[in-house]
Structure 1
Amino acid sequence: MRDLLNSPFVQPVSDKLHADLECMKSSELLHFHAPANLEGLLAIGQLEAACLDAGIKYSRRFYLPKHHRPRDEILEIPPPSSGVNVVIASEEETWQVEDLPDVDGLQFVPLATRVQMGNQHRIHHGSLDCVIQCAAIAALLAPNGRRVRKLRPYMSLGLWLRGALDTTLDPIHSAVLLHLKEEGSVRIVPLPEVGQPRQGMIPHLPERRLIKLHKAWPTMNVDERKQALSELVLPCLTDSSLSTPRLEELVWKRMLVGQEAVDLASQAEALRQEWPEDADASRIHAAQRLDHWLRTGSLMLEHQATV
């Protein structure tokens, strides 16, 4: 695994993350708090994996996400009798790192960052979500950890779940995908190379034609593949519910771990669709699914892979 804190898209906030890392290392007990939703699960899971690999003591608590709390309610986490609180506030708006308020313990919120891209080396601005921040720290807490390595590819899903791709290209998401690909954590493949993509993610996609294309794909040359894929997604272009940047990601840039049949976006969609609406049930569900993820390295249960 390559050090995320030295990557260009993390460097603008690396001082803050280094300070968080040192605080975690010196604490006798870490108390993790995260919203009971998918993004909270993905972020806290990275840190828990590192603690399990490194033998660091911790506790976990999922709190109710914003849509289950009164609009004007302020999240209050009481200080622990020992150790330090680590709060994943992934539902916060994006903060400038220099504007972060002083808090007891540690708090992770989306942070503004930037990256140079393209032949003209233009500066692009974006948000560094909590999942990536936690993954960066996890890799330094347990650099050779078995669980940390298994969960590493999923750090891309935090930005995937956020709304930036619903309006325009997300430069930070693109940079994260490139980072994961270059270090060998994921393969980036077009849709026909995914063995079991989740159905229904692309409106109006002709699923039967996709199955036929999947079978014929190995025998086709580059030009034939481009033509066939363009024709496959043509009916989808008339639907405004899916932005062009997200459609491009779903068609051309599916994330696969090794030779697994189900891509990461499909796994995230399966979890999102089955997440309970009930407040108490959502907290229990988050804890159960996190335990499963830490144990198996997969977000999905076996029966979901065939849906």
Structure 2
Amino acid sequence: MSPPAPGSMNHDSIIEDSEVRIGYTYEEYQQTADWLLTNTEHRPTVAIVCGSGLGALAETLKDQVVFPYSEIPNFPHSTVPGHAGRLIFGNLNGKPCVCMQGRFHFYEGYPLWKVTFPIRVFRLIGVETVILTNAAGGLNQDYKVGDVMVIMDHINMPGFAGHNPLSGPNEERFGTRFPPMSDAYDKDLRKLALAVGRELGFSDKMREGIYCSLGGPNFETIAECRMLNSLGADAVGMSTVPEVIVARHCGLRVLAMSLITNKAVMDYDSEATASHEEVLQAGKDSAKFMEKLVAVLLKRIEPNNNVF
């Protein structure tokens, strides 16, 4: 058997690894958690995941300790433009936080157990609440670019095809084999986010709706958008739901919000098309609003998941 061609080893090893392995071991999660706890004195109770174009939120943390993903044991690497690929520990509005400046996606070639790896690590370092943000296309025709949708429920399209981050042997130290998802998005945190938005004078931007997750990386066809809208989806994107499933499996409370960065194309006569550049620009334009919203939210979330 001849040796692999130069430059092919890395790609082949990634494929082989994904085919042979069916998940991280509990010990690997613990190894990463221990490494992080050893290398920072921060002890976060809230984790924030920044979606496309929303990475500036992480820059607002005080007393930062920054780890590029490439330096963290077992961590995947982010390959998407607009995702810096850094884990940032610090304080925001007096609350100890850890912030993912960029996430991982199924369309990058990662299995979902790698996509969701950080969530269980957060659980092991003491995080109690996860705030997830994403950029999404607006399916609801009442939504405008720049609106923020507090996610109340989701439709997991990849899950219908058998792609689920909990597939494989269940690790009982994290959670039960068959976790419910009817309460995936915490009601109190949703109410709080909507109330804070109103207090900040952004009532006209705040929405509450249903998020549909697709595999990507292509944007949706017109027929797909029409179908998803008819199923009850208000916004569509390529992330978040796998993280939510794993977070709930291991007992974390979840607040998730979509920044509507583009209007889904629903009309065959339209000349509009979606683009990643448009998504990044819309995220940049709304960054200040999202920073204020999350900062005030954090001030209201107390340890042990109490909200007031």
TM-score (norm 1): 0.33
Structure with the higher fraction of residues in strand conformation: 2
TM-score (norm 2): 0.33
Query: Which has the higher relative contact order, 1 or 2, with Cα contacts under 8 A spaced 6 or more apart?
Result: 2
